[in-house]
Structures are given as C-alpha cells and as structure tokens.
Amino acid sequence: MDPFHMGPVGGHDFRPVKHDIAPYKQVMVNWPRDNQSRLGLGELVFEDEVFGPESLEFDNLGRGPYTGLADGRVVRWMGENVGWETFALVTRNWPEKLCAKGIDSTTSKQWKQEKKCGRPLGLRFHKESGDLYIADSYYGLLVVGPGGGLARPLATHVEGKPILFANDLDIHKNGSIFFTDTSKR
C-alpha cells in the first residue's frame, strides 16, 4: 500500500497471494555464507544499560549511536565518561516515575506502559537538516531537532486512517518519508 500515492503502485490495494517457492535446500546451496562465523566473534556491549533498543543511528557528525528504548526515550551514547543520555521524548506527558524504571524498563516488563511512555522503534537522521525522524508505535511519526528535546508530531493519521503501529522509516533523497505501519493484514 502506498498511502501517499507517490510510487508506481500508489492507489492500489494489495492482498497477500500464496506462491510456490523453491525448496529450502535448493536455495541455500548457493546462498552466501560466513564459514568463519564472524558474527559469533562479536562483542555484546551495553548489556543491562539500555533496554529494548530497536534501531541504531549515528548523526551527521558521527555521534552516537542513538536508539529508542522500551521506556519511551531516545538516548544517545556520549562516550565512556558520560554514558547514555536522554536525547528526546516522544510525548510531553512522559511520567518519569512510571516510565523510567532502570532494570525494570526491559521490554517484557515495560510493555503495559508503552501507550503512555511511547515506544520509539525506527530512527533516521535527515542528512541535510540533522533532524531526527522517529517512528513511534503509539505516537506515529515525529521529528526532533539536532539538539534533542521533545519530539514534534508529524503524522498520526494517513488519509483519515490512524497509524496503528509505526515501526520503521526511511528518508528518500528528495525528502519524502517512507514508513512501515505494522498491522494484522
């Protein structure tokens, strides 16, 4: 679905269709693989420091990473001496006592508060302005300036229909914003 009717398929309503595909083994025999298992050599960082990070972004100056958390904040890594700092909130009604629960801010413990606290999932920086665009599962599409603070809502509805669960986004070089709205369809 192309709610902005910008692409070649705009205005068309699509329905899932079942297709027969090649057997798994037939496809995987030629699939690229990492025989050295380099991912297994990765280092787990920030364990028990940030909970529920979904999207990682670096700003135009290379600072970061920035990520959205299960407690509704967008945070930025400021280096070893400072650690993580709150960069943005998606709602002015963010109750710190309810939302900021440290180790209890894990996704499994926080989900009941998401509608109040927000759940920033997708993050992208605009390459020219430095603004951070946020896809929040409950508050829709938002933007915050390069200095952070309270994010400003851009859209909660498309063509009169509410955005149900904004999940991720991308910014086209022409400035158009494309986003995914997770649904049951």
Residues 69-105: tens digit of each pLDDT: 988 999 999 999 999 999 999 999 888 888 876 555 5
Whole-angstrom Cα distance, residue 119 to residue 121? 6
pLDDT at 51: 81
Going by their DSSP bridges, the two strands 73-77 and 56-57 should be labelled as unpaired
- Domain boundaries along the sequence of the chain: 49-181
Fold of 49-181: Neuraminidase (2.120.10)
Element (H, E) at 28: helix 24-28
Whole-angstrom Cα distance, residue 105 to residue 73? 11
> Which of 47, 55, 64, 70 has its CA nearest to residue 138?
70
> Which of 150, 145, 119 has its CA nearest to residue 54?
119
pLDDT above 90 coverage of the chain, percent? 49
pLDDT at 55: 93
pLDDT at 35: 77
At residue 133 the predicted structure's pLDDT band, cuts being 50, 70 and 90, is: very high
What is the reported pTM? 0.77
Other beta carbons within 10 Å of 48: 8
Tens of pLDDT along 7-20?
A: 555 666 666 677 78
pLDDT at 127: 93
